[in-house]
Structure 1
Amino acid sequence: MNGLIMAGQLLLGLSILVILHELGHFLAARAFGIKVEKFYLFFDAWGFKLFSFKRGGVEYGVGWLPLGGYVKIAGMIDESMDTEQMAQPAQPWEFRSKPAWQRLIVMLGGIIVNVIVGIVIFWMLTFSYGQDYIINNKLNDGIAVGNIGKEIGLKNGDRVLAINGVKLIKFGDLISSKVLFGDAQLTVLRGDKTLYVTVPDNVLNKISKNEKDNFISPRYRMQSLKTVGAPDENSGPSFFDKLFNRKVEAPVYPAYTAGIKPGDSIISVNNKAVTFFDEFKDEVSRNAGRKVEIKAIRKGQLMNFSVPVTAEGVIGVGPKMAALPIAHVDYSFFESLPIGLNMAWSTFADNAKGIGKMLTGKVSARNISSPIGIAKVYGSTFDWIKFWTLTGLISMALAFMNLLPIPGLDGGHVVFLLIEMIQRKPVSEKVLERAQIVGFVILISLMVFAFGNDILKSFGK
């Protein structure tokens, strides 16, 4: 059931974005009197489709292959590779008969709509729900630092005052692209000393293999436990476990077996007092594969437990997080617009920076995700805010990806149109046809690579 919810959210979000993207091409083409022959959600590969109907000379339908969608524009070399039509004399209502500037607008139509959709989504989310953020200067106990944070020179209890000289207001900015893309300088208060820590440009590679909490998180005091690792109905076999008939049982952690219960307050590990949860984690992880002696308070009584630590250095408990200093800000309809614009632009720019770092080898291509990975991000429960936030992020990502100068994508067509406008004559149809084939091979290879990434991740590799 969880898999169906994830897949359903993904299909809904992508369907909305694909329809609107193709609608951008459709409306631009019709505005210039260009004939559109097909408008499809998903691909009707090899002529198979779920359903279709005709209206106004256009065939509308839904294909069976859920990898996007398309509009078939008359007189244009596209993924349909309709060479027979291109062999006929050009007609005034065909794409190829129109001025280059009109064709350029048609090709940019989908990208423009995706950008507008992203802006509108972020604008309306900000207007409807406002923004919540952790107030950085009220984190009196500072930060908890994972292994990656320690590698770059941070310590538990540090207080980060600024990023690149700009005062840090929202704690969340510490785990945003401002820092994770590297080369950011953090101004840190340690005790009564101010020092500067530079985040290396390979930090995102390391974090992508772990969790963001292994970098920096707010520091929590040890209080009554919220979770103790008991069997969880949501941690059963995944789709791939079922597919390959692998037996997977919900994990039972040592703390549960030893008798530790939610509500217990751990006060020491191996007779070492633990005030903060990061101190507890560090002491437990140092004893990986061995037993630890834990003292805890339960309803005013001192309890003693001897707990084996797993090879990964955990016993399976989670703290009841103290209420974080969270601020909520509401914005008016017009105040929300520049915030939505900034969120959309930041997402677009982050995609550009990410691709640039992949090309230079500073970020691993293993971070590329297929629809499988995206579905996992949507999650197994429907959350209206999360759904629209992710859909807005994907809309901006689609705008950027379609702008890449790869034949077969809108950006590839844009490049050839710009060449035509510069040299004042069209690029030959043979070149366009061959480029389309090359682009198709590139896109299929990227898709196979992305699916392979997510499949391997499902096997823990």
Structure 2
Amino acid sequence: MEILIKVSQFLLSLSILVVLHEMGHFIFAKMFKTRVEKFYMFFNPGFSLFKYKKGETEYGIGWIPLGGYVKISGMIDESMDKEQMALPPEPYEFRSKPAYQRLLIMVGGVLVNFILAFFIYISVLFAWGDAYLPAENVKYGYVCDSLAQSIGLQNGDKILELDHQKQVKYSDILTNILLNNPKTMQVERDGEMIDIAIPQTFVADLLSQSSKGFSMSPVIEPRFPLQPFVIGGFSKESAAKEAGIKKGDQILLVNGKDIEFFDEYLAYLQTLKGQTVVLTVKRDGEVHEISTKLSDEAKLGISLKPYNHFEFAAIEYSFLEAIPAGINKGVDKLQSYLKQFKLIFSSETKGYKSIGGFGTIASIFPGVWDWHAFWNLTAFLSIILAIMNILPIPALDGGHVMFLLYEIITRRKPGDKFMEYAQIGGMIILFGLLIFANANDIMKAFN
């Protein structure tokens, strides 16, 4: 069910982005009286799931959810309509329009994607505000995985600064390490401040770890105490439930041990795989001892009742306040993604190994339907789509823009035959990237 919800959110988000991106091309084409023959969401080789014709344009839905397209008369695009291009130009065709009009038609989709992202961020801040966990409010420190421990971090450390720059949000710490390449982190440990050097290889190690699977334990996450340990539910095959544990019970001790933090509880259970443990349980004011056997994975088959151990910060915005805040957030996300994009081409970080396809994109959506998360992710994907489309690769919008700028500057239009070859070359590059990204996803699925 969780996978279905993730995929459903991904497809809805993709549909919105594709339709509005293509609408950008469509609007400018119509503005300059250029004929649009087809307007499709998703691709339709062979047949369409749905189509109808209104005026000169056929509207439809294809069966391959990899994007969408508008087919503009007199334009060399993925349709490779050589017969039409062999005929004399018509006034309503793309190739007959002035270069500046063709340029606006081509950037229309990217422009809409950027505007859409800013609009969504403004709307989200106005509707939900901005809630976050301040780094200084992670009062019990962090649980550190093996990668974090390899650079000197310990469970319970409080990361307060990077290169002596105070970290405002917990969620920004790893992002800043990845994108801004700090050399040190300032950590509070047992009441004392210490400096920890961040090795040059750490970013590469982070990216390498992220490329190994869709779902991985965080490198650092807020530490929280075990108590109150109240049972919120059970798995399908729960040894604890079979032993008599009930929903609402509070577990006080495990084998008589009073464990302070949840990560310590999990680590202790790992030492008792397949063994019988004695749980001291509080129920309706009375204390009971119940024996149960751990699974071979050291699990009791229980879940905790949600409890908020941390104080979150929340900023609310009026509509007028949300406008500049939403634009600033969009600009920050744009700059952040451009920095991430640079990592792909770095020989040190080998970021290309972490490139993901449709599986990776779908996996970032939550397993429950959450409109707040959905719209935030859709806005970010809109920025990604805009940047990817404006890359100067033939067959992408950016490729057409590159040749149009060449034409405007030199006053020489590239020949149709050259454009055909460039389009074919660009499509080969794009299919190669598509195969590579989704092959990475397949490798993640088997890790």
TM-score when scaled to structure 2?
Answer: 0.86
* Contact in 1 for aligned 2:254/2:280 (Cα 8 Å): no
* Contact in 2 for aligned 1:36/1:71 (Cα 8 Å): yes
Instruction: Give the residue type in structure 2 aligned to 1:68.
Output: G
- Segment of structure 1 superposing worse, 19-28 or 120-129: 19-28
- Trace 1:118-157 onto structure 2 (pairs within 5 A): 118-157=117-156
- Trace 1:110-259 onto structure 2 (pairs within 5 A): 110-175=109-174, 177-181=175-179, 183-184=181-182, 185-197=184-196, 198=198, 200-202=202-204, 203-207=206-210, 209=212, 213-226=217-230, 230-232=234-236, 252=237
How far 1:294 moved relative to its partner?
Answer: 5.2
Specify the alignment match of 1:277 in structure 2: 262
| Partners of 2:248 and 2:212 in 1: CA distance | 32
* Contact in 2 for aligned 1:222/1:266 (Cα 8 Å): no
| Partners of 1:363 and 1:35 in 2: CA distance | 44
How far 1:272 moved relative to its partner?
Answer: 5.5
- Segment of structure 1 superposing worse, 431-440 or 29-38: 29-38
- Trace 1:6-405 onto structure 2 (pairs within 5 A): 6-46=6-46, 48=48, 50-55=50-55, 57-175=56-174, 177-181=175-179, 183-184=181-182, 185-197=184-196, 198=198, 200-202=202-204, 203-207=206-210, 209=212, 213-226=217-230, 230-232=234-236, 252=237, 263=248, 265=250, 273-285=258-270, 287=271, 289=273, 291=275, 293=277, 295-299=279-283, 300-301=286-287, 303=289, 305=291, 307-308=293-294, 310=296, 316-320=301-305, 321-360=307-346, 362-365=349-352, 367-379=354-366, 381-405=368-392
SS of equivalent residue, structure 2 residue 395: coil
| Partners of 1:208 and 1:255 in 2: CA distance | 35
- Segment of structure 1 superposing worse, 211-220 or 268-277: 268-277
| Partners of 1:2 and 1:282 in 2: CA distance | 27
* Contact in 2 for aligned 1:228/1:261 (Cα 8 Å): no
Q: For residues 23-54 of structure 1, what are the alpha-carbon distances to aligned partners after superposition, in whole Å with 9 as ceiling and x for unaligned?
A: 11112222233322222222232354521212
| Partners of 1:118 and 1:61 in 2: CA distance | 25
How far 1:382 moved relative to its partner?
Answer: 2.8
Q: For residues 302-360 of structure 1, what are the alpha-carbon distances to aligned partners after superposition, in whole Å with 9 as ceiling and x for unaligned?
A: 6364644635x655555554432112210121221232223322333333333322232
Alpha-carbon spacing, 1:72–1:121, altered in 2? closer, same or farther (3 Å) = same
SS of equivalent residue, structure 2 residue 310: coil
How far 1:148 moved relative to its partner?
Answer: 2.6
Instruction: Give the residue type in structure 2 aligned to 1:101.
Output: Y
How far 1:124 moved relative to its partner?
Answer: 0.4
| Partners of 1:37 and 1:148 in 2: CA distance | 54
Alpha-carbon spacing, 1:323–1:5, altered in 2? closer, same or farther (3 Å) = same
* Contact in 1 for aligned 2:230/2:250 (Cα 8 Å): no
How many residues in Structure 1 have an aligned counterpart in Structure 2? 437
Alpha-carbon spacing, 1:4–1:142, altered in 2? closer, same or farther (3 Å) = closer
| Partners of 2:233 and 2:149 in 1: CA distance | 27
Alpha-carbon spacing, 1:457–1:213, altered in 2? closer, same or farther (3 Å) = closer
Match of 1:435 among 399, 422, 425: 422
- Segment of structure 1 superposing worse, 100-109 or 302-311: 302-311
SS of equivalent residue, structure 1 residue 46: coil
| Partners of 2:288 and 2:210 in 1: CA distance | 38
Instruction: Give the residue type in structure 2 aligned to 1:63.
Output: G
| Partners of 1:420 and 1:19 in 2: CA distance | 29
* Contact in 2 for aligned 1:228/1:316 (Cα 8 Å): no
**Runs (5+) with no aligned partner, structure 1:** 233-251
* Contact in 2 for aligned 1:13/1:391 (Cα 8 Å): yes
* Contact in 1 for aligned 2:353/2:440 (Cα 8 Å): yes
How far 1:128 moved relative to its partner?
Answer: 1.1
Instruction: Give the residue type in structure 2 aligned to 1:27.
Output: I
How far 1:293 moved relative to its partner?
Answer: 4.7
| Partners of 2:367 and 2:187 in 1: CA distance | 38
| Partners of 1:310 and 1:404 in 2: CA distance | 50
How far 1:363 moved relative to its partner?
Answer: 4.9
Instruction: Give the residue type in structure 2 aligned to 1:135.
Output: P
| Partners of 2:195 and 2:365 in 1: CA distance | 37
Percentage of pairs with the same residue: 38
| Partners of 2:164 and 2:111 in 1: CA distance | 35
Q: For residues 40-93 of structure 1, what are the alpha-carbon distances to aligned partners after superposition, in whole Å with 9 as ceiling and x for unaligned?
A: 2222323545212122x2222222332211111222110110111222223333
| Partners of 1:338 and 1:196 in 2: CA distance | 37
Alpha-carbon spacing, 1:125–1:48, altered in 2? closer, same or farther (3 Å) = closer
| Partners of 1:170 and 1:136 in 2: CA distance | 5
| Partners of 1:5 and 1:309 in 2: CA distance | 29
SS of equivalent residue, structure 2 residue 171: helix
Alpha-carbon spacing, 1:156–1:378, altered in 2? closer, same or farther (3 Å) = closer
| Partners of 1:19 and 1:295 in 2: CA distance | 56
**Runs (5+) with no aligned partner, structure 2:** none
| Partners of 1:346 and 1:296 in 2: CA distance | 50
| Partners of 1:149 and 1:379 in 2: CA distance | 25
SS of equivalent residue, structure 1 residue 171: coil
| Partners of 1:327 and 1:419 in 2: CA distance | 50
| Partners of 2:101 and 2:343 in 1: CA distance | 34
* Contact in 2 for aligned 1:277/1:319 (Cα 8 Å): no
| Partners of 2:84 and 2:245 in 1: CA distance | 73
| Partners of 1:214 and 1:153 in 2: CA distance | 16
Instruction: Give the residue type in structure 2 aligned to 1:327.
Output: A
How far 1:207 moved relative to its partner?
Answer: 4.2
How far 1:433 moved relative to its partner?
Answer: 0.9
| Partners of 1:47 and 1:34 in 2: CA distance | 26
SS of equivalent residue, structure 1 residue 225: coil
SS of equivalent residue, structure 1 residue 188: strand
How far 1:457 moved relative to its partner?
Answer: 4.0
TM-score when scaled to structure 1?
Answer: 0.83
TM-align CA RMSD: 3.1
